[in-house]
């Protein structure tokens, strides 16, 4: 069964793996977050429904960005958009933590 927690963990691992390879500018732009979020949203309806079955909010919340894929308000598109938003929000939090750690390491190196 596909769960939101599994998706978030996989996306977080991907961000952590890529973080050290990103330039300072890329870390500030954070386009990588959207790329990772987009690539971790399930595309198969059965996977989307599994996520929604485990976390009903994925099917009942109105996504800020609107429905995914073709933009039509189908259940699958709404679930996909909510998953994308959940991944993005999760990754922004992790990116902030990673940037803070990076900045602290640079400060220590400067001393």
Share of the chain above pLDDT 70, in %: 95
Cβ neighbours for 78, distance < 8 A, ≥ 6 positions apart: 59, 62, 63, 67, 68
Rounded to whole angstroms, how far apart are CA atoms 81 and 86?
9
- pLDDT for residue 74: 96
Mean pLDDT of the chain: 91
- pLDDT for residue 4: 97
The structural domains of the chain, ordered by start, are: 4-110 (1.20.120.780)
Q: What is the pLDDT of residues 8-61, one digit of tens each?
A: 999 999 999 988 787 766 766 778 999 999 999 999 999 999 999 999 999 999
- pLDDT for residue 111: 64
- pTM given for the model: 0.88
């Amino acid at each position: 069964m596909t769960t939101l927690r599994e998706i978030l963990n996989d996306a977080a691992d991907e961000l952590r793996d890529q973080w050290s390879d990103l330039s300072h500018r890329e870390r500030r732009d954070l386009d990588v977050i959207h790329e990772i979020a987009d690539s971790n949203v399930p595309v198969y309806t059965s996977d989307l429904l599994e996520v929604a079955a485990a976390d009903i909010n994925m099917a009942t919340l109105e996504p800020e960005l609107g429905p995914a894929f073709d933009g039509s308000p189908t259940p699958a598109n709404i679930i996909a958009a909510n998953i994308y938003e959940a991944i993005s929000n999760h990754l922004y939090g992790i990116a902030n933590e990673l940037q803070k750690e990076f900045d602290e390491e640079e400060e220590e190196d400067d001393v």
